[in-house]
Amino acid sequence: MSSTYGIVAVALVAVATLGIGAFGLRFSRTTSDFYVASRSVSPVLNSSAIGGEYLSAASFLGIAGLVLAFGADMLWYPIGWTTGYLLLLVLVAAPLRRSGAYTIPDFAQVRLQSDAVRRVASLLVVAVGWLYLMPQFQGAGLTLRTVTGAPTWVGTVVVAAIVVVNVVSGGMRSITFVQAFQYWLKLTALMVPLFFLVHAWDDDGRPSPAAPGSWFEPLTQNGGTGLYLTYSVMIATFLGTMGLPHVVVRFYTNPDGHAARRTTLLVLALLGVFYLLPTVYGVLGRVYAGDLVSSGRTDTVVLELPGRMIGGTTGEVLAALLTAGAFAAFLSTSSGLTMSIAGVVGQGLARGRISTITALRLAAVGCVVVPLVLALSAQRISVANSVTFAFALAASTFCPLLVLGIWWRGLTAAGAIAGLVGGGLCAGVAPVLTIATSPEGWFGVLMSQPAAWSVPVGFGLMLGVSLATRGSVPANVSRTMVRLHTPERLDVDRRF
């Protein structure tokens, strides 16, 4: 691909992102504007924004790369990432909005009346956010290097800088407009080239993908461990979605619980349409770009297919469009993550002598530095695999907190802390060991996909310790449950 086309594509996305963010700044005046867009975002706009931030580098590039390398087993990733929203719709969306909280730590304090739980939850928000941000930054560097030949660090730094500018300038209000635009850009960027690619494949007359039988069949890779790996991915993706801080915070921006549920239904439709596309790219990659498997560059298959299958100016223009979509994926997800981390850290800073908005802006700058340094210095791993670690951590900590906090009046502060710490340690140690030591055998399998055992640990500790400390259930739990579960149209006392 011509580096000129790639540079132009990246530049246009960057300018559009900053321009839309500046437009949102016109509406950002109050603390509520910066944190939750004054809780006035419509379901249509909010669902597009959620789709924009949720469809990360793992979705845009990673799924196609995994399908290219491993085949049918990898379809559980998009299925799980979509199904997670169904569980979020049923269990969490409306009650969470009715809580009136800004962030997950706010919800924890409202529900359990405990500063200690709030502090632990705040630390975990930062951990999940950083674990999710690092592959976004790494993917940006990989993409820019693939299409322009620039050093890897250039794309990483560019994305980090644009994200900080957008969050600092307009907060949630600006980010909402930017992410909604970027969802439709990503969908278009995948759909338009795919039409040309499928047409070229049909004209070319090449046979179906040449691959071993295990590529076409689920639950067969890695021998007897395939069943465990598949179910662990399902648990992480099904339950991790409701615990991702940048996903949860978007439901605080809806006007009420009914709007939160409508938003979730629309998100399910938007994700279902999108996830059909990367799978086809992975299948086409097996036909035309099988060499990327042996070279370890499967994450670049989406970007390389237009040049291999079509070539010429048309191929370069289509590759540039895909580059624009990939860059939008990094920007939108990174913006949401940075906003969610900065919201939590900023609230802590605002307890001092600085204003809430100033605290959020300072937190946004500081919270990007750590994942940026990690992205520049750490060994690169598959974007989809690294994102799954973040899902496993969220599923092992915030999922039990939200599900039990919303649906079980017996949850106590001690139980919540035990589950958050225990589940967090189990799911947090696994990626460190996997990256640092590359363990083998069943131990390596358990560390590579920890959700199947770390999620039960999180739930078990919360339930067990809460039962053992049932005398410390918050005194106002009945009033809190009324607020969480009663529709807004009913006239009841919602004060805590």
Domain range list for the chain? 3-382
* The dihedral formed by the CA atoms of 119, 417, 80 and 195, expressed in degrees to the nearest 10: 10
- What confidence score (pLDDT) does residue 216 get? 66
* CATH T-level fold of 3-382: Sodium/glucose cotransporter (1.20.1730)
- What confidence score (pLDDT) does residue 211 get? 64
Residues in the chain: 496
- What confidence score (pLDDT) does residue 441 get? 82
What is the residue-level pLDDT of the chain in tens, covering all 496 positions? 567 888 888 889 989 888 887 776 666 666 666 766 677 788 899 899 889 888 887 788 889 998 898 887 788 889 999 999 889 888 888 888 888 777 888 899 989 999 999 999 999 999 888 888 888 888 888 778 877 778 888 888 888 888 888 777 767 777 888 889 999 999 999 999 999 999 888 877 776 666 666 666 665 555 567 788 888 989 999 999 888 888 887 877 888 878 888 888 899 999 999 999 999 999 999 889 888 888 888 888 999 999 999 988 899 999 999 999 988 888 888 888 888 888 888 777 766 667 777 887 888 888 888 888 888 876 666 666 677 888 999 999 999 999 999 999 999 999 999 999 999 999 988 888 877 787 888 888 888 889 999 999 999 999 999 999 999 999 889 888 988 888 877 666 655 5
Closest to 10 in 3D by CA, of 235, 189, 210? 189
In the block, which residue shows the tokens 């996909």? 449
In the block, which residue shows the tokens 């079509």? 310
Q: List, in order, residues 6 or more apart from 292 with CB less than 8 Å away.
A: 65, 68, 285, 298, 300, 301, 304
Cα distances from 415 to residues 120, 157, 187, 200, 384, in angstroms, run 12, 41, 42, 58, 32
Q: Rounded to the nearest 5°, which phi and psi values hold at 62?
A: -70, -40
Identify whether the C-beta of residue 393 lies closer than 8 Å to the C-beta of residue 420: no
Closest to 339 in 3D by CA, of 90, 124, 170? 170
Spatial separation of the C-alpha atoms in residues 182 and 326, rounded to whole Å: 10
